[in-house]
Structure 1
């Protein structure tokens, strides 16, 4: 079979007899001609123009340059003086870059190197070698890194290169915390810094990242920059900052009245938000679009040391979930009033909500509810539950938080009561009670309904049912398509299904679709765990900590939907705990 570049001899079409005419087609001829012309150029044979640049003389053929460059075509085909000259002088350009472009005109090959790409781009833009300049932009875009992104951004501004300008700007906004530690960042003008801080695409983990960047920038030349403090601080969403950062800002303000006013306004907003009021505005709106990774948060937990009694954990830890892998554990602000157990943990948006629990110090159930804001790393107390309870479940559904069932030291029987939190009133309101009172049930929100799975009844036996609340119609029903036999199953919402671990057998894992009423069996988990944290992100489910054979463990098992397999992770949680609360804050929350 002949290749596309093979020379071909064919009879001419259109009814001409085969012996009368032949078509000779030589696709490779043009390449051979250019190669020959390039050899002639190197020997200065048949050349008709000399390009002079930076003291060097480059012999060329006008037709080749004109066919390769709009600049040269306009020069040689217009009524300008250069069209008649044998020597053309180019000023302010790099001789190496011009020679490389002339070589490209003949060979269609050019090397783009990191050391010379900017010089080559500038020259190719001036001489209008559009393919080369476009490739230079693609090369610089691929090379965008923390140390060079601001440099490339300024370079793009200088040459009005829209593509590189946008790419470098996006890189700066997406990696602001790291970029703000570079020397180029400290050389930005106040106007340039304000432009970055004002951009809605700015991606940060916390507003404190911006505060620290501003302070670094000002302290780099404090006498000349301190008067910009107010202007820059106006771009920070101060109401989302921890109180300690606000105090730090006051200390840095040099008794600046405008700064003090901004901080006072922020404190006012924080007070209103903590009381449950909805304060609208840019300064109180989280930059929720910034996170590209899900966040796993672990809250509290405890273990029984038998002779020593219970050991409680006040720790709140988190890690990023990067492509299905758990990152390093980092600490958040400790859980307030942590010496209790059997509380319930759920998440709503950026917030983690801890409700109820059993306070061993006073030997009673508690009604207090605490909310942790991941953005500001702060705990705030919400309105108390109507019924003090422990061993209950909680879940988020349709942007509402529900608490379900449990036990109370004020009642002998299990609780059938259900409550939903109303944030604007900062209070819990009663919902229709469950048909069957249960404690230690798994509670899951799925497809706009609330499911209460298993649990213990008043006889401390497995309830063996799934109860379903339709909040829109305030109606409870019993799910008959899926049987749960065990008292303390674990469950979560996973891709429009409810995955139940330990529904009928200790290690059995079942996925139930409420819409189709279908069940499917997944691989058994590695070990029988009770009271572990169970969370999911994308294609994976994790079981963290819990009791195995009656003892608290710090191990982690992971289920991968793509392989339908469980594996024990090398990583562990810092302490062996059970009844630890676990939630995932999704990147798009």
Structure 2
């Protein structure tokens, strides 16, 4: 199923009463609505089906302006027949969630057209009233969309010069929605999801397989400039809201990436004790609940960034066995080893890398500075087709040991710290590749550094109103 076929699949499933397939197809449309709305099939949607999509709380769009544009496109495909349905469709657009700049486009599009005789249809006249901040708004007008796929933060640590006083986190938080405030101000709404059983986690690995969250390895406590490795390996099922204890890895490890490829998880490199990293890679089989060694790395690595793109595992940077920051970029094959690619232009470790639109975006971390490290705020993007790197907008503040994810077509960098003065960078920054800008999305909840993030499909029941206990401190 893809953006060009999903609507046909939905029609087929509905015609033959295949409820599970219909639900899957509709969920695909909701998750990929902006891309689907640009296809030819979208223009053939019945009005009532389009209305169902735009009214759904689970609709995943970069902003409410995307919903407006989709409706405009649908009406414009056959204005003579569809203008009469435009008013009801526009009621599904949540205009109060737009920023002033976004709403300018709404006002600029003149969709007042004569239908028959002197009768006119105005598509957005009522929206002007809805957008007025001084006017009361109904719950439906202001209800935030909360797609099933949410951004989840797992565990983490807080900075404290006295490592014995640090309090690592057991908490899981999720971003329920993006909210547009006055003008161009945006913020994220964070809510508690669950707690890791037993011990807290930082410098751990997090992966998602078959809709379930896996948390493995990492540390649970600092003591006298060393850290205690945590063997706990658990899986969280968001549908049931429960945890399950699973088999431990063959080796203790922290400061490593955990990635899903096919139906397996891979724990790649990492530290096994203070200032000692490893080259081993372990593969997890969920069917047998077992770990096994696969092809090792060419050299010990920790603090590297890993992304799976088109079924291939890309690894950038990290610390070598001398704890020097690297410029390397390579493909890792669990069955066959390493294929080296073009080096990054900047050395870095403890950084982030995410795949977006077929390219790999690298940001944050530390870089070499004589015998010490300094913040790496330069950002670069890798094109696998040309095997080349290019720079993009630097980070506005340092993010060392941060978490990252791609949500709704934008790259998020969350938390971390500043290497220069060891201060916390408890902010969320979002990169928009269409505008080439970083946006400040406000503060993150809970722990600040050595946190992990992923995207996880959550039940719609989690979109219910918050309680005081749900809100971040």
Shorter chain as denominator, the TM-score bin is 0.5 to 0.7
- Structure 1 equivalent of residue 159 of structure 2: 304
- Distance change in 2, residues 1:438/1:140 (3 Å): closer
CA contact 1:545–1:556 (8 Å) conserved in 2 = yes
CA contact 2:364–2:400 (8 Å) conserved in 1 = no
- Distance change in 2, residues 1:140/1:583 (3 Å): closer
1:475 Cα deviation (Å)?
3.0
1:360 Cα deviation (Å)?
3.2
Deviations 1:426-484 (A, max 9, x none): 1112110000111111121122211221111221222332232134x523222235355
Q: Residues 152-163 of structure 1: matches in 2 within 5 Å?
A: none
- Distance change in 2, residues 1:468/1:378 (3 Å): same
Residue 332 of structure 2 is aligned to residue 477 of structure 1: no
- Structure 1 equivalent of residue 254 of structure 2: 390
Per the alignment, in what secondary structure is the counterpart of residue 550 of structure 1? coil
- Distance change in 2, residues 1:586/1:515 (3 Å): farther
1:574 Cα deviation (Å)?
2.3
- Structure 2 equivalent of residue 545 of structure 1: 415
Residue 349 of structure 2 is aligned to residue 487 of structure 1: yes
Match for residue 429 of structure 1 among 265, 270, 292: 292
- Distance change in 2, residues 1:437/1:292 (3 Å): same
Question: In 2, distance between residues paired with 1:406 and 1:306?
Answer: 24
1:140 Cα deviation (Å)?
7.3
Question: In 2, distance between residues paired with 1:500 and 1:436?
Answer: 21
1:384 Cα deviation (Å)?
1.0
CA contact 1:293–1:320 (8 Å) conserved in 2 = no
Question: In 1, distance between residues paired with 2:339 and 2:412?
Answer: 30
Per the alignment, in what secondary structure is the counterpart of residue 467 of structure 1? strand
1:499 Cα deviation (Å)?
1.0
Q: Residues 346-495 of structure 1: matches in 2 within 5 Å?
A: 346-360=207-221, 364-409=228-273, 413-471=276-334, 473-495=335-357
Moved more, 517-526 or 426-435: 517-526
- Distance change in 2, residues 1:311/1:394 (3 Å): same
- Structure 1 equivalent of residue 203 of structure 2: 342
Deviations 1:29-53 (A, max 9, x none): xxxxxxxxxxxxxxxxxxxxxxxxx
- Structure 1 equivalent of residue 452 of structure 2: 581
- Distance change in 2, residues 1:470/1:323 (3 Å): farther
- Distance change in 2, residues 1:293/1:339 (3 Å): closer
Question: In 2, distance between residues paired with 1:322 and 1:299?
Answer: 19
1:297 Cα deviation (Å)?
0.5
Per the alignment, in what secondary structure is the counterpart of residue 436 of structure 1? coil
Question: In 2, distance between residues paired with 1:144 and 1:415?
Answer: 54
**Structure 2 unaligned blocks of 5 or more:** 1-81, 94-144, 181-185, 368-374, 460-473
CA contact 2:397–2:425 (8 Å) conserved in 1 = no
Match for residue 524 of structure 1 among 377, 390, 394: 394
1:516 Cα deviation (Å)?
2.5
CA contact 1:447–1:514 (8 Å) conserved in 2 = no
The answer to which structure has the higher helix fraction is 1
Question: In 2, distance between residues paired with 1:564 and 1:142?
Answer: 30
TM-score normalised by L of structure 2: 0.58
Deviations 1:279-328 (A, max 9, x none): xxxxxxxxxxx984530101111113233521112211112345997642
Deviations 1:492-513 (A, max 9, x none): 2222211111487711111102
1:422 Cα deviation (Å)?
0.7
Residue 362 of structure 2 is aligned to residue 500 of structure 1: yes
CA contact 1:417–1:430 (8 Å) conserved in 2 = yes
Residue 162 of structure 2 is aligned to residue 317 of structure 1: no
Question: In 2, distance between residues paired with 1:135 and 1:508?
Answer: 49
Question: In 1, distance between residues paired with 2:179 and 2:201?
Answer: 35
Deviations 1:217-262 (A, max 9, x none): xxxxxxxxxxxxxxxxxxxxxxxxxxxxxxxxxxxxxxxxxxxxxx
**Structure 1 unaligned blocks of 5 or more:** 1-133, 146-289
Per the alignment, in what secondary structure is the counterpart of residue 311 of structure 1? coil
TM-score normalised by L of structure 1: 0.47
CA contact 2:177–2:189 (8 Å) conserved in 1 = no
Q: Residues 10-409 of structure 1: matches in 2 within 5 Å?
A: 292-307=147-162, 309-322=165-178, 327-360=188-221, 364-409=228-273
1:586 Cα deviation (Å)?
6.1
Question: What value does the CA root-mean-square deviation take over the aligned residues?
Answer: 3.2
Deviations 1:369-415 (A, max 9, x none): 21122222222122211111112121222343211001214x97421
CA contact 1:390–1:407 (8 Å) conserved in 2 = yes
Q: Which has the larger radius of gyration?
A: 1
- Distance change in 2, residues 1:141/1:442 (3 Å): closer
1:416 Cα deviation (Å)?
0.5
Question: In 1, distance between residues paired with 2:396 and 2:255?
Answer: 26
CA contact 2:354–2:411 (8 Å) conserved in 1 = no
Residue 439 of structure 2 is aligned to residue 567 of structure 1: yes
